[in-house]
Each structure stands twice: as structure tokens, then as C-alpha cells.
Chain A
Amino acid sequence: GQQLNQSPQSMFIQEGEDVSMNCTSSSIFNTWLWYKQDPGEGPVLLIALYKAGELTSNGRLTAQFGITRKDSFLNISASIPSDVGIYFCAGQRPTSGTYKYIFGTGTRLKVLA
């Protein structure tokens, strides 16, 4: 099945650094979502974006809905050790009378104290 392309696949950063990751697709989406998944847990929603060009913040996290509707970006400022985990993007679009979610391949973040 289709998965969205996320980059980078993984990254090691120093505590206090800013982090950027992105998600791209060949298809248009109506909604972009960013999730974080900790080991042994299900994904938890961080930010939802509903309009092309929208920029939304949640604490140290900022995400943008690309104007082409085919991409999205997530930034984490001043990273801390608990930011460690896997970050997934997901796109939502209408299909066959419902809405389908397509997830990205994930960006694995490791923060060095």
C-alpha cells in the first residue's frame, strides 16, 4: 500500500538543537497530521493542519501544510531528551464515500543529552 515519504529517516541531535523534518506525497491531501510514537505505544497526535499554507504551533512544535497540498513540515525547537521517538506524518483525503489516512515511513529522532 501507499506510504508517504518522510525525511530524514533518522537523526541524532544534541539537546537544545532545533529539528526539522518533512513529508512528501505525489497526491493531494485535505488534512495533514503529525504523530509521535514512543516504544511500545500507539501513535499520539501532535498537530493537525486543515488548510493549505496553514502554520500551527503546539508548544515547541510547529507544523506547516504545504501550499501544493502535497507536503508538510514539522519543526521542533530546543529539543529535549523526551522528544526521542518516531514521528509520523499522515495525510487524509476523501475516497469512496469516506476519508482515508495514509501514513508516512517515519522519522526516528534521538536526542543526545
Chain B
Amino acid sequence: EAGVAQSPRYKIIEKRQSVAFWCNPISGHATLYWYQQILGQGPKLLIQFQNNGVVDDSQLPKDRFSAERLKGVDSTLKIQPAKLEDSAVYLCASSLMFVETQYFGPGTRLLVL
């Protein structure tokens, strides 16, 4: 069974630029999560989708972050414009349903200069 795929693996941008990350969850997984992991900290949930609907985006900085999951499969997370403090690893995870075990992708490492 293929795992959660993410791309790109690394990204370096300058502040005020835009960036987008892509996630392909495990086939058949209805729930998809985006986490932000700042160096030295645990993952922090940004947004949770159930199929193509948003279930929880309470910690998503909506003035600059947006995410979508069209057709209930792949998802993209966008930052526009980026700030220095957005430098982090962005992890995507998926699960069969929201009560089930989450499986994480390898993450996208973002550096904002």
C-alpha cells in the first residue's frame, strides 16, 4: 500500500512570496490533515478535511493560508504572502475516518528568507 505522498520535499522562498504544497493521501482515506511543525516542536494541526469538506480550520491563519481538497482526494495548502515565521515542516496525514489512525507523509520543508 502506497503511503502519503507530498511535494515538493523542500522549498526556499523570500518573504512576501507565495508557495503551494501538494498532498496525495493513502487511497480510500476520507480524512486528510495538514500540520505545521516548527523546529523543536510537535506538529500543530492547521486544517482537517473529511472528504472535500473542512471539519476544523480553527488554527489556520486564514489571512495568508488557504487549503482545498477538490474531489475529496488530493489537497493543496497555499501560503500567500509568506512570512519569516512560516519557516517550518508542513506535514500531511490521512486516515480512513477521523477516529482512525493517522498516517503521515514525509513533509515539505519550507524556509522563508
Known pairs A1-B45, A98-B56; list 10 more (Cβ under 8 Å): A1-B44, A3-B41, A4-B42, A35-B104, A88-B42, A90-B42, A95-B56, A98-B98, A100-B45, A104-B42
Q: Is B50 an interface residue (CB 8 A)?
A: yes
Q: Is B52 an interface residue (CB 8 A)?
A: no
Contact: A42 with B105, CB < 8 Å? yes
> How many A-B contacts at CB < 8 Å in the complex?
58
Q: Which chain B positions have C-beta within 8 A of A35?
A: 104
Could you list 20 A-B pairs, sorted by A, with CB under 8 Å? A1-B44, A1-B45, A40-B106, A41-B106, A43-B91, A43-B104, A48-B101, A88-B42, A90-B42, A95-B56, A98-B48, A98-B56, A99-B99, A100-B45, A100-B48, A101-B102, A103-B42, A103-B44, A104-B42, A105-B42
* 8 A Cβ contacts from A1-39 to B: 1, 3-4, 33, 35
Contact: A45 with B101, CB < 8 Å? yes
Complex alpha-carbon distance, A82 and B103, angstroms: 21
Contact: B107 with A100, CB < 8 Å? no
Give the A-binding residues of B (Cβ under 8 A).
4, 33, 40-45, 48, 50, 55-56, 59, 91, 93, 98-99, 101-107, 109
Q: Is A44 an interface residue (CB 8 A)?
A: yes
Contact: B101 with A42, CB < 8 Å? no
A42-B104 CB under 8 A given contacts A98-B98, A99-B98: yes
Complex alpha-carbon distance, A42 and B42, angstroms: 11
Q: Which chain B positions have C-beta within 8 A of A98?
A: 48, 50, 55-56, 98
Shortest Cβ gap from B52 to chain A (Å)? 15
Q: Which chain B positions have C-beta within 8 A of A4?
A: 42
Shortest Cβ gap from B77 to chain A (Å)? 15
User: What's the tally of chain A residues with a CB closer than 8 Å to chain B?
Assistant: 26
Q: Is A58 an interface residue (CB 8 A)?
A: no
Contact: B42 with A106, CB < 8 Å? yes
Q: Which chain B positions have C-beta within 8 A of A40?
A: 106-107, 109
Q: Which chain B positions have C-beta within 8 A of A1?
A: 44-45, 59
